[in-house]
Structures are given as C-alpha cells and as structure tokens.
Amino acid sequence: MSTRSSFSRRSLLGLAGGLFGLSQTRLLSNSPAAQTAPTGDGSFSFAHLTDIHVTPKLRAPEGLRLCVQAVNALPQSTAFVLTGGDLIMDALDEEASYVRDQWACFDEAMKALRLPAHHTIGNHDIGGWSHKALIGKNAPEYGKSYFAEKYGKGSTYRSFDHGGWHFIILDSVALDESSGDYYGWIDDAQLEWLKSDLARTGKQTPIIVSTHIPFVSVWGQLNADPRRGEGPKGLINNGHLVRKVLGSFNVKLVLCGHGHVSERIELSHYNKTTFIQGGAVCGMWWKGKVAGNPEGFGVVTCRQDGTFSYEYRDYGWVA
Ligand SMILES: [Zn+2]
C-alpha cells in the first residue's frame, strides 16, 4: 500500500460545516495582561482565532469586540491567543488608506484583549499581492512588511514555547510573479529555519504548528467533484515537502484557517498529527454562518502528557 492510498483509507474525518470556494507573534496587547495560571495538573489552554477579516464595515468591529469579550471570559488557565491569519478583510485588492483603516479597527478591538496574542499571517493581510492590486510596490503597506513589523516581531514566521509545548507559526503565502497573485507555499529560507528550529526543539517536545493556508482539506471534495483538487491558492503547494520535515518530530496538531470551515483530519499512521481548520471569527465575512457553521473560535487545551483537546466555540454573533 502506498503512503497516499494508506492516507485516504485510514484518514479519519470530522466535518462540522463550511462553504466550498471560500478560499480565498508574540505581540502583547496594549492593555494589561490578565492573570493567567495553569491548572493543578499543569495543563493550559489557548484560543485560536482565525479569519477575523475585520473592517470598519458590516458591523465587524462590534463582532470582533464580542469575540474578544468571549475570549476574556475563558477560564484563568487560558494563556494566550493564537491568531490564524486574515486578521483584516483585505489588503490584496484595496487602497492603502482603507488597508490602514482596517488595521486600525483590528488594533482598537484587540486593545480590550486581556491575553498576549501571537499572530499568523494570512493572504488577506498582505498588501497588493494581486493582479488587481491598488497598492504600489513602493508603498509602506505593500507586501508583508507592515504585518511583520507590527504583528510579527519583525518576521512572518517564528516559534515560541509555553508550558512544555513548542509552537511554530508558519508563513504559508508566496507571490507568483507571473500572475501577480499569491499562492500557498513555504519558501526555502523558511524551510531551512524550520529544520533548525525543530532540531533545537528535539523529538520529544509536543509541537503545535499554526499556518493560515491548510496542508490538507477535504471540503472541496465533499462539495463538488471528488476528483477536484484545490487550486494553487487553496493549499500549501509544497505541503508534502514541509510535512516530510515535520514528520520525524512530535507534531501533535496543525491549526489552519483560510477556508472558513470547521474541519478535523486525523491520519492514524502519520505520527498521529491532527489537522484542524478552525472555522472563522467572521463566519461568511460578517454576513452570516457558513453552511450552518457559526462564527466562532477554537479553544485548545494542552496537557502535560502531550495530549490535547479542541473545542470550537460559537461566541454568539448574529449577522
Ligand atoms: Zn485566507
């Protein structure tokens, strides 16, 4: 049995809902961090907020404020927020002034967050990487530098440790110079960094990876011709090579966003890594649920024995 056929036969899948075709750091908030504490058994939790897509329009600031309130109300063992990318509605196709307005909305809503936040970059957080771009290549809002400087501690990929677990934040977005559009890709420099980061971490430490664009997703297959693959924007095109690098390490969980669906894929033979796509804070871009999947965020609990649990929470937004 080839690895690939083994994958398809033995994969376990749970799918809570979603919408076909919706492809599309440690930063401390300004407010004082809440007092967080691990539980008596040393476990801790964090909130995974992906596809926020905040904008001054569509009552989105009000929605994000409600989401932040729900995160602030999580138990004291909640240590931090990990965002999954697409923090703002769009920087790919919009003018620089509107992009700044969106970031201002994000900053304003996140001021109320009482936990530290680590941010993952998404395609919509990148200025002007589109054939329809309105941002010039010399503008400060162009490309990834705005995100890196303000939300990524100077980079779009990095790692950190918490409570005996190692967290790796990847940058899954690259530019196709010929089309002018983005696609899913982990570049060579990042792969080299990843190899050395993993070598430093060692093979025992439990690892959680955050990426915006998924390594795997079956949502398209479930909702259309099953032979249809995702396009270059839908998945990390060299994900198989990245997984090879991750494969011999203790990667428990890969969190992603991008498709606005809640999807869980477990490959029983592949180092027991679970792949979870974490729905969307904005649902269908602040216009309602995605095929029944509510606006929400994930809560991941990490235990000292290297196991975790995941729960998707509806924070009560009504579009
Ligand atoms: Zn995206």
Q: How far is the CA of 86 from the centre of ligand 1 (A)?
A: 6
Residue 269: the pLDDT is: 67
Cα–ligand 1 centroid distance for 305 (angstroms): 33
C-alpha 20 – ligand 1 centre gap (Å)? 13
Q: What is the DSSP letter of 41?
A: T
What is residue 109's predicted lDDT score, i.e. its pLDDT? 96
pTM attached to this predicted model: 0.88
* Span from the CA of 184 to the centroid of ligand 1 (angstroms): 10
Residue 231, pLDDT > 60, answer yes
Per-residue confidence (pLDDT) for residue 318, from 0 to 100: 94
**What are the Cα distances from residue 191, in Å, to 58, 171, 194, 209?**
38, 10, 5, 13
**What does pLDDT average to over the chain?**
88
Give distance in angstroms: CA of 172 to centre of ligand 1: 10
Q: How far is the CA of 73 from the centre of ligand 1 (A)?
A: 27
* Residues 221, 197 contacting (CB under 8 angstroms): no
Residue 139 pLDDT exceeds 80:
yes
More confident residue, 116 or 224: 116
Q: How far, in Å, from the CA of 298 to the mean position of ligand 1?
A: 17
Neighbours of ion ligand 1 (CB under 5 A): 24, 86, 122-123, 258
Strands 78-83 and 296-302: unpaired
Sign of torsion, CA 29 254 15 55? positive
Q: Report the pLDDT averaged over residues 32-39.
A: 57
Q: Which domains does the chain have, with CATH numbers?
A: 3-31+59-314 (3.60.21.10)
Residue % of the chain over a pLDDT of 70: 87
Q: How far is the CA of 39 from the centre of ligand 1 (A)?
A: 34
pLDDT recorded at residue 150: 96
